Amino acid sequence: MSDTLAKNPSITDINRNLYDFTKGEKDVEKLASGLTEEIVRQISAKKNEPAWMLEHRLKSLKIYHELKVPNWGPDISGLNIDNIVTYVRPNTKMAAKWDEVPEDIKDTFERLGIPAAERTSLAGVGAQYDSELVYHNIQESVAEKGVIYSGIEEALAGPYAEMIKEHFMKLVPPTDHKFAALHGAVWSGGSFVYVPPYTTVEIPLQSYFRLNSPGAGQFEHTLIIVDKGAHLHFIEGCSAPKYNVANLHAGCVELFVGEGAHLRYSTIENWSKNMYNLNTKRAKVEKNGVMEWVSGSFGSHISYLYPMTILNGEYAKAEFTSITFAGEGQNLDTGTKILHNAPHTSSVVSTKSLSKSGGTSTFRSAVTVTEKAHKSKTIVSCQSLMLDDKSRSDTIPLMDVRCDDVNVGHEASIGRIDDAAVFYLMSRGLSEEEAKTLIVNGFANPISKELPLEYAVEMNNLIRLEMEGSIS
């Protein structure tokens, strides 16, 4: 068993040193806190973006003010947009070599293991620090196939500008909800990926988002277009140090999966526990296309996160596999939405959630089968594990079926770790904490086995950190 588990078992807090380090804000440029038209115009001006984008931002701002905060979900009254700085620019330009990245920022990503991962197991990396990308690179062999992986702002000024205009916030319109509108108004940074027809990117691409500035928001936009018959695995990581003021993440991910294409989108979300994570992710899948989500949510103070898949073409498929671990001070409301909008579409949703040390974990889902989705099939399975008697776990699934010849299944269970299993493992020489950690790792195994090895290890480490001190 690991050294960590051999430590004093009465630790009551979680060791997050891996993520919880801060860097100063030397020479950073920060706009005033709050949300005004002037701030939106300032952000737009800094990016030298096309006129339609400014128009889009201003329209989104208007919508933001018109829409209400959701009346369902966790309480977000602690989030005051007047205190949030929507734009923080590090004092550097985007680099294509780590050596060109300022030392303190490079050190941050070194500690998070990003350059090392790039060397061993990634085909390209984008790294965002606060509001701007600081590093972006793609392997030559992948670029030679015609795969585009760049900063979205950079792409907006290049040959793919029209393609971006055609797709930008079309899946997630600003009218979708208040924080989509906020994103539309102040978005900054993020990645653009285009995979040409029948091209397979064998090794994953990864974007990593780091929020360093206290009281700031991060609003990156990720747009991925996987053309007909192409294959891609994209990994998204994110983290932030903990501050005693609220930070906000309202990013947006739009994924277009073409006919017969395949996209896997993996996320390990480990924001700090002062973060309001109000992120929106959506994918549209055409005929015979496949969309796979693999998602681990460990961080944030409050999360509203429901990646949505629109199965828009015949025989399109979606798989959603996720784990959520809510610890002390966390209220993580996560899940998914699936829209079956074409015949013979299918989806499988498999989620696990754990609650510990007073944390609240909520699984929320919506599966809609429209009149067009004849012969479609969907199965939703959610399992929740309560690790103590101070925590809370809710499941709130919804099924809306408007077609007769379909097959819709749902199963859910909530419970705690079986005492007999713990007793058995203890009889084999494990401590109670070790036994419970082993069982929780087994519970999470269906998710971790879907991740690349390095990320599965990271997820298991996160579980181990969360479990540390669970037996006092």
Partner 1 sequence: MNTSLNANKLPTLTWNHFKVNHKEIHLSNEPDTAVSPKIITNNSTAVLKDSRTLDDLTFSGSDKKTETYILQNASLTKSIIVPKNNTDTAPLIFDLNLQPADKLTCLLDIVLEENSSANIVVSVSSAAESTAQYADLIRIHAAEGASLKLTCLQLLGKAALSFNNIVACLENEAKVSVLQIPLGAETALASAIMDLRGYHANSEIRSEYIGHLTQDIDLNYVARHYGKKTLSDIKMTGFLSDSSKKTARGTIDFHRGCKGSIGNESETVLMLNKNARNKSVPLILCDEEDVVGTHGAAIGTLDEDRFFYLKSRGIDENSAHRLFLDSAVSRLKGLLPDMLAAKIDNYNKEVLFNESV
- Residues at the contact surface with partner 1, assessed by CB under 8 A: 71-73, 364, 366, 371, 384, 386-389, 391-416
Got the DSSP string for 222-234? Answer: EEEEE-TT-EEEE
- CB-nearer residue toward partner 1: 30 or 375: 375
For residues 276 and 339, what is the distance between their CA atoms, to the nearest angstrom? 26
In the complex, the smallest distance separating the C-beta of residue 32 from partner 1, rounded to whole angstroms, is: 33
- State which amino acid sits at residue 57: R
Nearest to 354 by CA among 386, 396, 402, 392: 386
Output the smallest distance, CB 58 to partner 1, in A. 26
Minimum Å gap between C-beta 318 and partner 1 is: 18
Question: Taking the complex as a whole, how short is the minimal distance between the CB of residue 250 and partner 1, in angstroms?
Answer: 18
Nearest residue (CB) to partner 1, 348 versus 412: 412
Q: Residue 311 Cβ, how far from partner 1 at the closest point, in Å?
A: 17
Please, what is the minimum distance in Å from the beta carbon of residue 73 to partner 1?
Answer: 8
Nearer to partner 1 (CB atom), residue 74 or residue 113? 74
Q: Which is nearer to partner 1, 233 or 337 (CB)?
A: 337
* Least spacing, CB of residue 306 vs partner 1, in Å: 9
Residue 17 beta carbon to partner 1: minimum distance, rounded to whole angstroms: 29
Please give the DSSP secondary-structure letter assigned to residue 68: P
Distances (CA, A) of 405 to 288, 346, 371, 372: 20, 13, 10, 11
Torsion of CA 134, 139, 145, 149, to 10 degrees: -20
Contact 216, 247 (CB under 8 A): yes
Nearer to partner 1, 300 or 361 (CB): 361
What length is written for the chain? 472
Question: Which residue's CB is nearer to partner 1, number 38 or number 66?
Answer: 66
**Tokens representing residue 47 in the block:** 């990016």
Closest CA to 126 of 213, 217, 29, 223: 223
Helix (H, G, I), strand (E, B) or coil at 207: strand
Q: What is the CB neighbour count within 10 angstroms for residue 70?
A: 14
Distance CA 218, CA 85 (A): 9
> Is 452 within 8 Å of 121 (Cβ atoms)?
yes
Alpha-carbon separation of residue 66 from 18, 171, 181, 252 (angstroms): 40, 20, 10, 20
Residue 105, burial from CB neighbour count under 10 angstroms (0-12, 13-18, 19+): buried
Nearer residue to partner 1 within complex by CB, 59 or 375: 375
R_g of the chain computed on alpha carbons: 22
Helices of type H across 140-215: 140-143, 152-156, 161-167, 178-186
CB of 406 to partner 1, least distance (A): 6
Per the CB < 8 A criterion, the answer to whether 345 and 375 are in contact is no
Residue among 357 and 460 whose Cβ is closer to partner 1: 357
Q: Which is nearer to partner 1, 107 or 400 (CB)?
A: 400
Smallest gap from residue 330 Cβ to partner 1 (A):
16
CA proximity to 435, closest of 417, 451, 450: 417
Comparing CB distances to partner 1, the nearer of 398 and 457 is 398
Between residues 89 and 356, which has the closer beta carbon with respect to partner 1? Answer: 356
Q: How far is the CB of 346 from partner 1 (least distance, A)?
A: 13
